[in-house]
Amino acid sequence: MRIVIVLSCLIVIGLSFLAIQVPIIDIAKVEEAINDVKSISQVNIADEETLKKTVNLIVKELESDQRTRLKYLVSAYLVIWLVFMLYLLRLGRQQQALDQRLTQLEQETSDSQTDP
């Protein structure tokens, strides 16, 4: 039982580490998207450099917000996992106590049956 809990702990920690890794949008892709929009758009963009800086700033802010949201999500999953594992440990201990009590009662009944 404890081996399963330790193994699942390692898996959850590994998955949470992978989940926090937010894919970073490449600047080349951002520039390509800007050029695509400019070619499709009928609006004439006067200051292209300001547009690129603004878009890059917005992309960085979105990536930062995404990291924050993922950290909260992973934290919630870790708390739920921890509570569930503690519950399983408690159930395991109660099961052991019940098994011991059952063994004790079986011994008492077998002793009382052989005593006449």
pLDDT at 94: 95
pLDDT at 27: 76
Q: How far, in Å, CA of 60 to CA of 16, rounded?
A: 22
pLDDT at 106: 92
Stated pTM of the model: 0.58
Q: What is the pLDDT along the chain (116 residues), one digit of tens a residue?
A: 677 777 877 887 777 777 777 677 777 877 787 777 777 766 666 667 777 788 888 888 888 888 888 888 888 888 898 898 889 889 989 999 999 999 999 998 888 887 65
pLDDT at 29: 78
Cβ 19 vs Cβ 74: under 8 Å: yes
17 φ, ψ to 5°? -65, -40
Q: How far, in Å, CA of 42 to CA of 107, rounded?
A: 91
Q: How far, in Å, CA of 5 to CA of 9, rounded?
A: 6
Cβ 3 vs Cβ 86: under 8 Å: no
pLDDT at 116: 58
pLDDT at 42: 63
